[in-house]
Amino acid sequence: MQTSSQSPQRSPSVALLSAAMILIGLLGILFFFAAVANDEAIQYVLNWSPGDSDEQTPSLLLVYLERFGIIVSVLIIAAGLFFVVIGWRLRAGGIRMAYWARIALLWLGIGAGAFIALEIFNILNTAAMDREAVDFSALVSAIAPALLVMLIGFALWYWLNNNIDQAFSGDDSLLGRETRLAWNLLIPTLTIFVLVAARPLEQTFIRSLTDKRFAGSAVPQFVGLENYANLLTFRLDTVPCRKSVTDGPCDTRANGSVRWESIDRELLREGYRTIFNIRLGDQSLAISGLDDDFIEAIYTTVIFTIISVAGELLIGLFMALVVNSNFRGRGAMRAVMLVPWAIPTVISARLWELMLKDTSAGIFNKILLDLGAIDAPLAWLSDPALQIPTAIIVDVWKTAPFMALLLLAGLQTIPSDLYEAASVDGANPVRRFFSITLPLLRPAIAIALIFRTLDALRVFDLFNVLFGRQQLSMATYNFETLVSNQQDGYASAISVIIFIFISIFAFIYVRLLNVES
């Protein structure tokens, strides 16, 4: 068997390909540095001088991170180095490197093609908006470099594709083949991930370290971890209960809860607000923070998530089992089942707002009044005690179909002969459910649970329409801070904390449900 190091006769075309790969990699990195140096915003900071304006000096680092960021910079340089390394190793004539080179060239061509399409779209679009004729010479000069890259990429790829077995030698492993195919197939998803998730999230993280205002013109400055400190500072104090009579019993509220003294005036002035009181004998441990709204929003969201996801799972499973049985009109029923999910949340939240009106104009109050279950209309949306239960009812109604459809697809993969065998063995339906359906449905349930839980933790539309600022979820608090209070930096810090909170949660959850193995 021939190994790569022993192949003495290197064809000149292999050397040429190797050189081309190295050149492409180096030029790519060089081009990126040139783009940074020539960037308008970067140039502006470099040429900025403290003239008569009283603006603060813009930070070069901040502008660089805003414009390019760490992720994109690292990825571009890594891609360039990948080309260089592959090109270098290609000289040995090993077929594995040739396979990797083929992937790299293919995606270079596709990437350049996408860039060309984007440029053409932009030029045509701008021309259409300005109602001007398309300037073809400008168009050609805009796409010429990318066109060259695309042609070179595809030409090399084509040559490699046809000559890979003649020009290269060595053995390939099945594992290597699977690895390459896997990365090839993952590139579209990972590109999207970088473009619409990683990069925007990185910008949010960068802004969270600044005092940026939303839609403001002031130059943002680094404030370090100040935003985080404000969100996460806690203190514990012991406070006595409130007594109207000295040495008498503790005062209580109408609902029986004890009234505690507030924390020190000085602390209140510093911005501390008590979030929870934990009773320790006739004293109380007061947990106070600088941003009590945020902590309360977390608490509300977690409670909402636990109860509504549990409800959705039960109702969704019930719906899936019913719709999976044999009866006439099953097809129509599957469509009917999905109706709540099909109505856009912004509309269904309004619909529920209408049905839950706090007078007899609301159908829920009317039904309950007619049934004699209540004496007076309930204020479903404005009574703090009813807000969370209401939100849960609406959310369960809306998203149980999502659960049901995922579980239905899971039910379809359970082979029916298992049930036949179980019936022959005399297992009753309840036993069949617990010993066949539930275990085999586990993967579908786990995935439905993960996605519903993460969705519920991010609940936004529902709380925004139903409660506005009255009852905040984590996401609506984030929104209010950004849009109403215009604190972009602070809102970004909230986003980052929510992200960290949910990712820890998701990691533990995925482990517990054991879906990755």
Partner 1 sequence: MSQPARPASTLFGMTPKELRRKLQQALLYALVILVAVYALFPFYWAFVTSFKTENEMFQTASYLPRNPTLQNYQYVFSGGSFLLALRNSALVSSAASIFALVAGSFAAYALGRLRFRGRVALLYVVLSMTMFPAISILSGLYTIVRQLGFFGTGLSLLVTYPVFTLPFTVWVLTSFFKGLPAEIEQAATVDGCTPFQTFRLILLPLTAPALVTTGLLAFVQSWNEYLFALNFTATNPSAQTVPVAIALFSGEFSEQEPIAEIMAAAMVVTIPLVLLVLAFQNRIVAGLTAGAVKG
Comparison of 167 and 407: residue with beta carbon closer to partner 1: 407
Q: Which is nearer to partner 1, 273 or 366 (CB)?
A: 366
Q: Which is nearer to partner 1, 180 or 243 (CB)?
A: 180
Cα separation, 204 vs 71, whole angstroms? 13
Minimum distance from CB of 248 to partner 1 (Å)? 48
CA dist 403 and 325 (Å) reads 17
Enumerate the β-bridge partners of residue 210. 222
Q: Least CB distance from residue 299 to partner 1, whole Å?
A: 17
From CA 361, how far away is CA 213, in angstroms rounded?
A: 43
Measured CA to CA, the distance from residue 333 to residue 277 in angstroms comes to 50
Residue with smaller CB distance to partner 1, 223 or 368 = 368
CB neighbour list of residue 108: distance below 8 Å, 6 or more residues apart: 24, 83, 149, 150, 153, 157
Are the CB atoms for 279 and 258 separated by under 8 Å?
Answer: yes
In angstroms, give the least distance from the CB of 154 to partner 1. 19
The CA distance from 344 to 347, in Å, is 5
Are the beta carbons of 4 and 92 closer than 8 angstroms? yes
Query: Least distance in Å: CB of 379 to partner 1?
Result: 16
Q: Are strands 273-280 and 283-289 parallel, antiparallel or unpaired?
A: antiparallel
> Smaller CB distance to partner 1: residue 97 or 319?
319
CB 228, min distance to partner 1, A: 15
H-helix segments, 360-469: 363-371, 384-412, 416-424, 429-432, 438-457, 461-467
Q: Which is nearer to partner 1, 384 or 439 (CB)?
A: 439
Closer residue to partner 1, CB minimum distance, 260 or 463: 463
CA distance 356 to 382: 10
Which CB, 7 or 221, lies closer to partner 1? 221
Provide the minimum distance between the beta carbon of 416 and partner 1 in the complex, in angstroms, as a whole number: 6
The residue whose two tokens read 């060595």 is 170
Q: What are the phi and psi torsion angles at 279 (to 5°)?
A: -75, 130
Nearest to 159 by CA among 12, 268, 259: 12
Give residue for tokens 């093609």: 113
Backbone phi, then psi, for 416, in 5-degree steps? -70, -20
Least Å from the CB of residue 1 to partner 1: 22
CB of 438 to partner 1, least distance (A): 16
Cα separation, 238 vs 62, in Å, equals 43
Which CB atom, from 263 or from 475, has the smaller least distance to partner 1? 475
Give the separation between CA 222 and CA 232, rounded to whole angstroms.
19
| Least distance CB 281 / partner 1 (angstroms) | 41
